[in-house]
Structures are given as structure tokens and as C-alpha cells.
Structure 1
Amino acid sequence: METQRAKEIAASPVMANVTYNGTRVYIQSVDERKETARIFPLDQPEREQEVPLHALVEH
């Protein structure tokens, strides 16, 4: 996923269909410098993690 699109999704009040390794996730924030995002699975908000932007897929 491109950095700008990830930032748009993170800032939007509308839920986007984004997956990481096949699991639907919520993007909390984006770090442009490191090209990563803080995410968590929709059904497990306690499993927050930092992942590379290129690993996120918008459907």
C-alpha cells in the first residue's frame, strides 16, 4: 500500500477493507519515515503491531 493511501485510511472515519496476511485490520497510524503502519486485527484490538506498508492490501 502506498504511504499516502494508508494515511488517508487512518484519518478517515469510514472503515476501509484492509488486510494484513489475510486478516482484516484497522490502521491506527502511519510512519512515513519508516514506511510502516501501526495496526491491529478488527477482532483483537489488543494485538497491536507495526508492519511494513507494502504488506497491507486494500480490497
Structure 2
Amino acid sequence: MRRSPRNPRHPPKTWQNYRDQRLIPFSQIGRKIYVNRTDLDAFLRQHRIGAQKRHYN
């Protein structure tokens, strides 16, 4: 697989980037990529960004 150089105007696909950096465990069979639901839920919980309270004048 050939990779193009990183270009700030064209960021990599988010999930592909997570896989490339080994942030989420996955399996690949042929062209299909499989992620365990519990691993994905844990990743999302760990990286959750809470809601911010807005102040109106």
C-alpha cells in the first residue's frame, strides 16, 4: 500500500488514522476491517468530550 505524504489541507480519514496509530484494536480479513464493539465503546468513553455550558447575556 502506497501512502501519500501528509498534507495539512487534506487530513487523513479519522478512523483510518486511529487504526494506523494503533489507538483502536481491529482485525482485517481481506478488505474488511472488524472492530470489537466493547473495544470501540471503551475508546469512545475514554475520549469523550463533555458538553460545555453556554452563558447567555
TM-score tier after normalising by the smaller chain length: under 0.3
What is the TM-score with the length of structure 1 in the denominator?
A: 0.25
Larger relative contact order (C-alpha < 8 A, sep ≥ 6)? Answer: 1
Which structure has greater helix proportion? 2
What is the TM-score with the length of structure 2 in the denominator?
A: 0.25
